[in-house]
Amino acid sequence: MKIGIPKGLLYYKYYPFIQTFFTELGAEIVISPDTNKDILDDGVKYCVDDACVPIKIFHGHVVALKDKCDMIFIPRIMELRKQEFICPKFCGLTEMIINDIPDLPVLLGEPIYATTRKGLKKWAVKTGRSITKNRIKINKALKLALEAQEKYKTLLNNEGLQFKVALVGHPYNIYDVFLNMNLVKKLNKLGIGVITEEFVDEAQINLSVSKLFKKPFWTFARNSYGFSTYLSENNEVDGIIYISSFSCGIDSVVVELIKDKIKDFPMLILKIDEHTGEAGFDTRLEAFSDMLERRCVEYENNLS
């Protein structure tokens, strides 16, 4: 039994769980290649026009796998925290794929409620049943997958560069280097290091978020807000870079909330879609780097 795993969306955050679960069930796993131009082009061809680019890219990964496996796993993650969601597109991801791409193999697209062990077990049994009828094997695969995930963290924290910025956004925008045009490498070349949200305590994020007039119900939006406003208020970074998907409603709201809170703290918003040109992207990074430099000089002049 070959299970295809698309290397898109939250694969970057949860691949130890996904790979361990299916391998422990006895399946052979086939992972799609790193995102590339062909995957993007296929995604744009099959996906509805007004979707964000990470969803289009995910379609491209499914196309890359569809003739190479018996089943494809669809990470239809509904909840990671109680009464919070990821995005409407995640909730309907399986249906989007079924309706957009022809001649698919079987899709493993059960909703995932990861807030409780019971919820995860329900998903594991429904999904695992397609591969084995052995409940003990399914339970063991879930346990080992959770342990593998526990040992892994996506994080970035560059030390020793002239400036440091909080890099904010959905994990796929931060970790897919094709999608973000090697953003971190480009920043490092300009003397700018990045730090990601995993380095801020959840308690600090909760505290910042608790000051909002309404509790956010999108998990990554709450993390982005809490992380960036905490670091800027405490002057722990020189600026904020928010990498956002064009046409993402969640990003557009959280960006405004952050801007409102941090006032004139330096912030660069990079909106990306399939048409984003690399030259314009580089120019914006250089201009931001120049601005950080100028602020630094002004600060030193004020001290002397």
Q: How far is the CB of 197 from ligand SF4 (least distance, A)?
A: 15
Residue 80 DSSP SS3: coil
The sign of the torsion formed by the CA atoms of 49, 91, 76, 251 equals positive
Residue 127 or 173 with smaller CB distance to ligand SF4: 173
Contact footprint for ligand SF4 (CB under 6 A): 52, 54-55, 87, 89, 170, 245, 248, 250-251
Residue 52 or 65 with smaller CB distance to ligand SF4: 52
Residue 100 or 251 with smaller CB distance to ligand SF4: 251
Residue 3 DSSP SS3: strand
List all residues 6 or more positions away from 287 whose beta carbon is below 8 Å from its beta carbon: none
Q: How far is the CB of 268 from ligand SF4 (least distance, A)?
A: 18
- The 3 state secondary structure assigned to 134-187 is CHHHHHHHHHHHHHHHHCCCCCCECCCCCEEEEEECCHHHHHCCCCCCCHHHHH
d(CA 115, CA 155): 22
Residue 55 or 241 with smaller CB distance to ligand SF4: 55
Q: How far is the CB of 92 from ligand SF4 (least distance, A)?
A: 11
The answer to whether the beta carbons of residues 16 and 149 sit under 8 Å apart is yes
Q: How far is the CB of 183 from ligand SF4 (least distance, A)?
A: 15
Residue 87 or 97 with smaller CB distance to ligand SF4: 87
Q: How far is the CB of 205 from ligand SF4 (least distance, A)?
A: 18
List all residues 6 or more positions away from 212 whose beta carbon is below 8 Å from its beta carbon: 225, 257
Residue 175 or 265 with smaller CB distance to ligand SF4: 175
Q: How far is the CB of 249 from ligand SF4 (least distance, A)?
A: 6
Q: How far is the CB of 245 from ligand SF4 (least distance, A)?
A: 4
The answer to whether the beta carbons of residues 208 and 230 sit under 8 Å apart is yes
Residue 182 or 219 with smaller CB distance to ligand SF4: 219
Q: What angle do CA 20, 23, 28 make, to 5 degrees?
A: 140
Q: What angle do CA 162, 168, 173 make, to 5 degrees?
A: 110
List all residues 6 or more positions away from 280 whose beta carbon is below 8 Å from its beta carbon: none
Of the CA atoms within 13 Å of residue 78, those in its CB half-sphere come to 16
Q: How far is the CB of 20 from ligand SF4 (least distance, A)?
A: 24
Residue 124 or 272 with smaller CB distance to ligand SF4: 272
